[in-house]
Chains A and B, each alone.
Chain A
Amino acid sequence: MDTVQSTLGQVNIASVIIFFAFVAITLAITYWAAKKTKTTSEFYAADRSISGFQNGLALSGDYMSAASFLGIAGMVSLKGYDGLIYSIGFLVGWPLVMFLIAEPLRNLGKFTFADVVAYRLKQKPVRIASSIGSLMTIVFYLIAQMVGAGSLVNILFGFPYEYAVIIVGIVMIAYVLFGGMLATTWVQIIKAVLLLSGATFLVIMTLAQFGMNPITLFEQAAIKYGDAVLSPGGFVTNPWDAISLGIALILGTAGLPHILMRFFTVPDAKQARKSVFVATGFIGYFYILTFFIGFGAMVLVGQDTVSSFDKGGNMAALLLAEFVGGQFFLGFIAAVAFATILAVVAGLTLSGASTLSHDLYVNVIKKGKTDEVGEVKVARIATLIIGALAISLGLIFKGQNVAFMVGLAFAIAASANFPSLLLSIIWKKFTTKGAVASIITGSTLAVILIILSPTVWVDIFHNPEAIFGLKNPAIISMTASFAIGIIVSLLTTENDAADKFEDEKLRTYLGIGAE
């Protein structure tokens, strides 16, 4: 079956039309949202008007990136079962978000997760440190998405890389700049619905080739490529590596600023909880679909063909779409994949802009003294800055191997953002110095260790051997971040912070005083 023909790389009319229809509809929504986006609460949090179900869909739209759709389907198509192990890591963070973070975050915070970390502590040092953790997570994630967008469009439509990066950048800036959180939310909801229905349809069309029986699909895969595709393979060679990656994926999910920010868009803790239930359901369903899609591509398209288009397998889902549904369906899935990137970068940009404006400008430079109109204006300027940065970084990193940056973003989120957030919620004796030390330790260690790890030191710098043996640093950087945060807090006393902890409980548990 190695002779499968594909129109990938040629301009696909259906795809271009569907993609521009998506852009037109979402810009129309942005126009509508812009009229409702005047105050800070409207700009950062859609005036807390999003329902739990809507937010659950938007969360899944924010989280299901093109990397998880194309990348995991590709990994499954080439490696079989190992792709599923990866998906499970991405999903298991969600229950933790529910049990540990979602409700207290909603009750204590206003617009950013730094609101919660800084709630009892000294605003200036904590906000600065949290912003460093946030911005590093956002920037590395953004680079991976922008470079992915450029390369994807280049392969799909034959458009030059630079055009793709600039188009994505400008459309995404338009959503956030004019429509704030309301427009961003609807872009994510529409994208989630398109991606989920596209992937469902793709799976149905694939299973139709196997008498609608998934077991036949797996059996065919084993007959064609051997029993090994249905068993764990080389994914876990070093258990420490696997555990470290697992920590980064699950605790990182609970420390991603653009995900945490979504919990401020719902009216109360109950809806925050419902959001996570809905999001976990959709994301889990989606990962099960990508597993079937990967096996479908393995059997119907063939591993040789999949890897001939992209050696990482990233084109597997698209090749399968063309095989089972022809050029039109390929166009549809391609457009959805591109729309996916737009929704994710819009969420990241809004989150980065809110860190710059709400945490750094308003609470550090202006010490909390600004008016509504002033802050929204600053937030919009910050959106332009982050948007311009995203476009520039997308252009600078053209052709670079940026796959490790998603892993790095998760490692920083797990090591800098998550420990300080959790400790500030649950531990009375947490102090300002403890928080700052924890964040600085976690983010610095994550970055240094990943540079010295095989992912960068060997794969990118081409050194023969890595200085730090693990591919993902989270097991060290997260543990160090917690340990330093606890030790420094125990060595310092901050009576003010401990006193406020009791009062804070009314807000954490009962939602009294929550904004």
Chain B
Amino acid sequence: MGIKVDRVNDILSSEKFKDLVKKRLVVSMTLTAIILIVYFGFILTIAFYKDFLSIKIGDYITLGLPIGIGIILFAWILTGIYTRWANQKYDKSVRELRNEILEK
């Protein structure tokens, strides 16, 4: 497979490619912001509102337990959301653009 050199600049300046680049940036930056807010929010809660995490939700169990374990699960779910988006949406556009630029 070779590259159709004359098509490279067309593709790079095409709306479709720019759209792909922009979408990936938006998705990855949004997810990055979410995980950073959740994590540093958790750390700041511990620093300034420790009592919140000590609230009892059972005889002994504190709110901190489900929140802590929840953050671990949430981090994993976010990677799953990204993977699903990329597999279903992103890869499709990538395939289409690749087909336009690669010689069979």
Contact = CB atoms under 8 A, between A and B. Distances in A.
B48 to A, nearest CB: 7
A284 B46 contact: no
B50 interface: yes
Contact of B43 (A91, A103, A243, A512): A243
B76 A219 contact: no
A153 B73 CA distance: 34
A243 B40 contact: yes
B94 A509 contact: yes
Given A232-B64, A239-B47, 10 more contacts: A84-B69, A85-B42, A88-B71, A92-B39, A231-B62, A236-B47, A246-B43, A277-B76, A280-B75, A509-B20
Contacts of B94: 509-511
B68 A88 contact: yes
Interface of B: prevailing SS: helix
Q: Please tell me the size bucket of the interface on B.
A: 35 or more
Interface string B61-86: 11011001101110110111011001
Contacts, number: 148
Interface of B: 3, 8, 11-12, 17, 20-21, 24, 27-29, 31-32, 35, 39-40, 42-44, 46-48, 50, 53-54, 58-62, 64-65, 68-69, 71-73, 75-76, 78-80, 82-83, 86-87, 91, 94, 97-98, 101-102
B78 A85 contact: no
A280 B54 CA distance: 28
A510 B97 contact: yes
Contacts of A274: 83
Interface of A: 81, 84-85, 87-89, 91-92, 94-96, 98-100, 103, 215, 218-219, 222-223, 227, 230-232, 235-236, 239, 242-243, 246, 250, 270, 273-274, 276-277, 280-281, 284, 287-288, 291, 502-503, 505-506, 509-513
A311 B71 CA distance: 29
B81 to A, nearest CB: 10
